[in-house]
Amino acid sequence: MRKLARRLNVPFRSGGSLTGAKTADAQAAYESANTIMPTVQGGVNFVLHAGGWMEGGLVADYAKLLLDADQLTMMQSVVDGIDVSDNGQAMDALRETGPGKHFLGSSHTQANFETAFWRSEMADNTTYEQWSSEGSVESHTRARARAVEMLAAYEAPELDPATDEALRAFIAKRMEELPDSEF
């Protein structure tokens, strides 16, 4: 499909992090990874259900949405490719440091170490002992807590009153036109 879309110069739409799992467990992780990776590698322009999809599409889960989004940021770093710019090649650091020495103190390392590698915002990389002493919180629980925080902190953007009125009128009209629909 990707080759056909490219040949015809049309956008390519596909599915994303799909799973039949009922909770954000190992099944959800491997099924989501197995369905999103070809989508990302295929250069899909519009991805349906890139995050949060559970139980074959019957359920949307905020925690899984955050876990999926975390993995999508990693995949984005992969498709961004290798930085072959002067900064990416770190030639200045090579010249500055010279052979037989470490690069930890080089100005290039100091300027780039925080952004040079992808780091998960959702993963817990503490030791087992620390994780256990802090309550043994699993990824889904951690992600759900973060989702609750984000929802509590959400502030709706200002909406032009005329736009708000037009949207409300449109909704009312559609509800009249589709009286038997479930909203």
Q: Where are the domains of the chain?
A: 2-81+124-177
> What pLDDT is attached to residue 183?
58
- Residue 91 neighbours by CB under 8 Å, 6+ apart: none
Stretch 23-52: mean pLDDT, rounded? 92
> What pLDDT is attached to residue 42?
87
pLDDT surpassing 70 at residue 182: no
User: For the segment 160-179, what is each residue's pLDDT rounded down to a tens digit?
Assistant: 999 999 999 999 999 888 87
Q: Which amino acid is at 10?
A: V
Q: How confident is the model at residue 128 (pLDDT cuts 50, 70, 90)?
A: very high
Cα-Cα end-to-end distance for the chain: 34
Angle formed by the axes of helices 62-79 and 139-153, to 10°?
100
